Chains A and B, each alone.
Chain A
Amino acid sequence: MRATGWAAWATAAALMIGTGESPVGPWRAALDLAGGPLSFSVTITRHGSTFAGTLCNGTVCQPFSAIGVRGDSILLELADYSATISARLDGDSLTGVYRNVGNRGPRVIPFRAARGRRQPSPAPAPLLGRWNATFFSDFGSSPRVLELRNGTQGLEGTIISNTGDYGHFAGSVQNDSFTLTHFDGSFVYMVTGTLRGDTLRGVFHAGLRSQTTWLAVRASGAPHLKAPTEITSADTSAPFRFAFPDLKGRLVRNTDRRFQGKVVMVDIFGSWCPTCHDAAPELVRLYRKYRDRGLEIVGLAYEVSGDTAVDGRQVRRYREKFGIPFPLLLAGINDTDAAAATLPQLRGFTSFPTTVFLGRDGRVRLVRAGFYGPATGAQHARQRLEFEREVERLLAEREGARE
């Protein structure tokens, strides 16, 4: 039904082009949050009678799943999140709303855009680097790390919590103050901060209205976040058990021949989880490098629907996107508690992805919660090295340790 609607829109759009106004081109877009505008970029292109486009946070972009144009009305769709941006085109401006469905009412945030590209806005040296932050909310205070650096589009960075990062943020700078934003169609995040002396102070905005104050001092090198290996622990008294169907419905178990005497990395992931997408290429790289020396990897997928056909499709797409050569199993749904229930040997399981390293005897040697994605820069590089070292260390363990 929707497709027919779009076809009609596209036809109308084709007729409209040439009468003057066209949405085609780059746009400086913003969501108007209670605490100020969250900036991002939108680019719309036309291919024959249909439109396409991207939503970008600095250099990191994603395509809209569909774009409809009817008269001066534009509809930008992000199907993954059941989200839309609907706007009215008036000369060089777009005005409208971003929406997605909520359970307690609509989630609606005002949207606007002006024609043009954002100018790169690099940060002065004193702002750059790694900052140990404390977020203060009514629920209590909690640690974060802020990574600020200059990229080709000016200031960029990320926020890292105990269990992972918030994705790529892009920003702008004015004197000693900066704004960093991340909008992917679902998450609506903005960080504002100002440097006074040696302290950064600011506000973290989530959605239309949530605001959390924070302050940060330059990282000293001492650990500020809980080490990712301390978040989840495991029963090491027996081999780590798993038994789930693969994408063809065949049961795969830890006792299968392919895992015997091998070092095994168990990747607990979901195709819906952006940080898992960050981790996947690294796992593929490790697998190719160490498979011949005795490394096996198995992915346990915790998906959204719980419906085998739907989840299987999502995971197959994930496997194809990253060219994953190791088995992916349908383990359950993406509810932390539900996932924990399927893996009773893990304690304190909180985050996707979580990587469980098993020695040649099948017992847990290390559990690593979360994954520092490429947005975290130096952290990402360090983590790749740590994963590689751990694999090397386990591969070198004596064959005699085998059960």
Chain B
Amino acid sequence: MNSPFRMAARQAGICALVLVLLDVPAVWAQTSGVAAERAEYMAWLTTAAVSPLRAIAQQPIGSVVRLGPSNSDVPLAGVAEHRVRQQGGSVMLESDGGKRAMPRGLPIRVGAYTLSVGGAAGRAVLTVFGDHPSDKRPEYYELQPALVFVGALASPEQRGTVRVLGVDGTEVEAAEAGSVVVALGDERVRLRVLRMPTQGSEESELEIFFRDGTNGRGTYPAGRFVQLVPESGNRYRLDFNRARNPFCAYSSAYPCPAPWRGNAFRSPVEAGERYEGVGTAGPEPPAGAR
């Protein structure tokens, strides 16, 4: 069996004064990295046209979604009727003015709104964004150097892929990447890790969707995502200060990912992104998820 992830800060720090001093810059560098990441995320949330703070609707396209008039699938004030149609692998936007393609990941403006298409061929999902961001802002616990762990990634019991919702509520085909064991208080929890691809590139992220004792009492009720960061060899860093809410925490336009089997701490993980509101959209199991 693998040994649990060790606390990164503790491992170098406590034994001797010299080591404590040596450890300071390392911990500082690490927490300032988290602070910089949060600043980037805040800038993206408040400026990007596809920020969840602007999302007003997200839905599977199926064969067609009607936008505009009040009796449409997605009513949009001041917008004449538009239809988003999925045919074969492509998605088209039709209106009286003509017809145009909607490539994935390339937002299109319609009046005061932005439309974006994601998801796999034949299973495309439309997200509609408005012009005015909501005033929600991410809030975080104080940085907790003790909730940073370093350890090995164990191979998955069974290799394969599974369809799950990503942080943005869009379905992705993710690969079983294995698991990590984290010891927190008197608990040892095995966390399942999935590799989630980025469309159109060779890039992917190792993601963990987990629940803990703070859910609904300070953090988002459905759970949070945290990325596992590779270091050298089979060493990975799990920094709960980097835990973030799924986009459904910012807007009920998004469906929430269903909690992953296991991946739950009884004890509170008081680090990373907080949530003060009530639950918005409840967990919605995606097709094919276990």
The 8 Å CB contact of B88, one of A137, A139, A338, is: A338
Q: In the bound complex, what is the Cα–Cα distance between A38 and B147 (angstroms)?
A: 29
The segment from A7-15, A303-311, A382-390 that touches chain B is A303-311
Instruction: Report the minimal beta-carbon distance from A290 to chain B, rounded to whole angstroms.
Output: 34
Instruction: Report the minimal beta-carbon distance from B227 to chain A, rounded to whole angstroms.
Output: 8
B121 in the interface (beta carbon within 8 A):
yes
Q: In the bound complex, what is the Cα–Cα distance between A106 and B121 (angstroms)?
A: 24
- A206 touching B203, Cβ below 8 Å: yes
Q: In the bound complex, what is the Cα–Cα distance between A307 and B108 (angstroms)?
A: 11
Q: Please give, as numbers and ranges, the residues of chain B lying within 8 Å of A210 by CB-CB distance.
A: 202-205
The 8 Å CB contact of B89, one of A34, A305, A307, A341, is: A341
Given A139-B175, A189-B202, A210-B204, A335–B90 Cβ distance below 8 Å? yes
A105 in the interface (beta carbon within 8 A):
yes
- B102 touching A306, Cβ below 8 Å: yes
- A338 touching B101, Cβ below 8 Å: yes
Q: Please give, as numbers and ranges, the residues of chain B lying within 8 Å of A189 by CB-CB distance.
A: 202
Per the CB 8 Å criterion, the residue count for chain A at the interface is 38
- B201 touching A187, Cβ below 8 Å: yes
Q: In the bound complex, what is the Cα–Cα distance between A306 and B203 (angstroms)?
A: 26
- A138 touching B176, Cβ below 8 Å: yes
- B89 touching A304, Cβ below 8 Å: no
B96 in the interface (beta carbon within 8 A):
no
The segment from B20-28, B40-48, B71-79, B276-284 that touches chain A is B40-48
Q: Please give, as numbers and ranges, the residues of chain B lying within 8 Å of A106 by CB-CB distance.
A: 40-41, 43-44, 48
Q: Once A and B bind, how many residue pairs between them come within 8 Å at the CB atom? A: 108
- B101 touching A306, Cβ below 8 Å: yes
Q: Please give, as numbers and ranges, the residues of chain B lying within 8 Å of A102 by CB-CB distance.
A: 44, 198
- B230 touching A35, Cβ below 8 Å: yes
- B41 touching A332, Cβ below 8 Å: no
The 8 Å CB contact of B229, one of A34, A105, A332, A336, is: A34
Q: Please give, as numbers and ranges, the residues of chain A lying within 8 Å of B201 by CB-CB distance.
A: 187, 206-207
Q: In the bound complex, what is the Cα–Cα distance between A336 and B104 (angstroms)?
A: 11
Instruction: Report the minimal beta-carbon distance from B25 to chain A, rounded to whole angstroms.
Output: 16
Q: Please give, as numbers and ranges, the residues of chain B lying within 8 Å of A97 by CB-CB distance.
A: 40
Residues of B at the A interface (CB closer than 8 Å) are: 37, 40-41, 43-44, 48, 50, 87-90, 92, 100-106, 116, 118, 121-122, 156, 159, 161, 166-168, 175-177, 195, 197-198, 201-206, 227, 229-232
B166 to chain A: closest residue by CB: A104
The 8 Å CB contact of A337, one of B121, B156, B166, B227, is: B121
Q: In the bound complex, what is the Cα–Cα distance between A209 and B37 (angstroms)?
A: 14
Q: Please give, as numbers and ranges, the residues of chain B lying within 8 Å of A187 by CB-CB distance.
A: 201
Q: Please give, as numbers and ranges, the residues of chain A lying within 8 Å of B90 by CB-CB distance.
A: 332-333, 335, 337-338, 341
Instruction: Report the minimal beta-carbon distance from A263 to chain B, rounded to whole angstroms.
Output: 30
The 6 closest A-B pairs by CB, nearest first: A337-B89, A306-B101, A338-B90, A138-B175, A341-B88, A207-B203
Instruction: Report the minimal beta-carbon distance from A193 to chain B, rounded to whole angstroms.
Output: 15
Q: In the bound complex, what is the Cα–Cα distance between A338 and B85 (angstroms)?
A: 12
Q: In the bound complex, what is the Cα–Cα distance between A33 and B40 (angstroms)?
A: 17
- B103 touching A333, Cβ below 8 Å: yes
**16 A-B contacts, Cβ less than 8 Å apart?**
A34-B230, A138-B177, A204-B202, A207-B201, A209-B230, A305-B101, A305-B103, A305-B106, A306-B92, A332-B101, A333-B103, A335-B121, A337-B88, A337-B89, A338-B89, A341-B88
Q: Please give, as numbers and ranges, the residues of chain B lying within 8 Å of A305 by CB-CB distance.
A: 100-101, 103, 106
Instruction: Report the minimal beta-carbon distance from B88 to chain A, rounded to whole angstroms.
Output: 4
B225 to chain A: closest residue by CB: A104
A108 in the interface (beta carbon within 8 A):
yes
B99 to chain A: closest residue by CB: A306
A101 in the interface (beta carbon within 8 A):
yes
- A209 touching B229, Cβ below 8 Å: yes
A211 in the interface (beta carbon within 8 A):
yes
Q: In the bound complex, what is the Cα–Cα distance between A35 and B230 (angstroms)?
A: 7
Q: In the bound complex, what is the Cα–Cα distance between A212 and B204 (angstroms)?
A: 10
Could you give, for residues 243-262 of chain A, a 1 whenever the CB lies within 8 Å of some chain B CB and a 0 otherwise?
A: 00000000000000000000
- B89 touching A333, Cβ below 8 Å: no
Given A138-B176, A335-B90, A306–B100 Cβ distance below 8 Å? yes
Instruction: Report the minimal beta-carbon distance from A307 to chain B, rounded to whole angstroms.
Output: 6
A211 to chain B: closest residue by CB: B230
Q: Please give, as numbers and ranges, the residues of chain A lying within 8 Å of B156 by CB-CB distance.
A: 138
The 8 Å CB contact of A139, one of B43, B121, B161, is: B161
Q: Please give, as numbers and ranges, the residues of chain B lying within 8 Å of A139 by CB-CB distance.
A: 161, 175, 195, 197
A341 to chain B: closest residue by CB: B88
A344 to chain B: closest residue by CB: B88
- A340 touching B89, Cβ below 8 Å: yes
A119 in the interface (beta carbon within 8 A):
no
**Could you list 4 further interchain pairs (A-B, Cβ under 8 angstroms) beyond the known A338-B88, A338-B89?**
A101-B50, A105-B44, A139-B175, A210-B202
Q: Please give, as numbers and ranges, the residues of chain A lying within 8 Å of B168 by CB-CB distance.
A: 103-104
A179 in the interface (beta carbon within 8 A):
no
A334 in the interface (beta carbon within 8 A):
yes
Instruction: Report the minimal beta-carbon distance from A315 to chain B, rounded to whole angstroms.
Output: 15
Instruction: Report the minimal beta-carbon distance from A274 to chain B, rounded to whole angstroms.
Output: 13
Find the residue from A99, A103, A337 having the highest chain B CB count within 10 A. Answer: A103
Q: In the bound complex, what is the Cα–Cα distance between A187 and B200 (angstroms)?
A: 10
Instruction: Report the minimal beta-carbon distance from B35 to chain A, rounded to whole angstroms.
Output: 13
B155 to chain A: closest residue by CB: A138
Q: Please give, as numbers and ranges, the residues of chain B lying within 8 Å of A103 by CB-CB distance.
A: 50, 105, 116, 118, 168
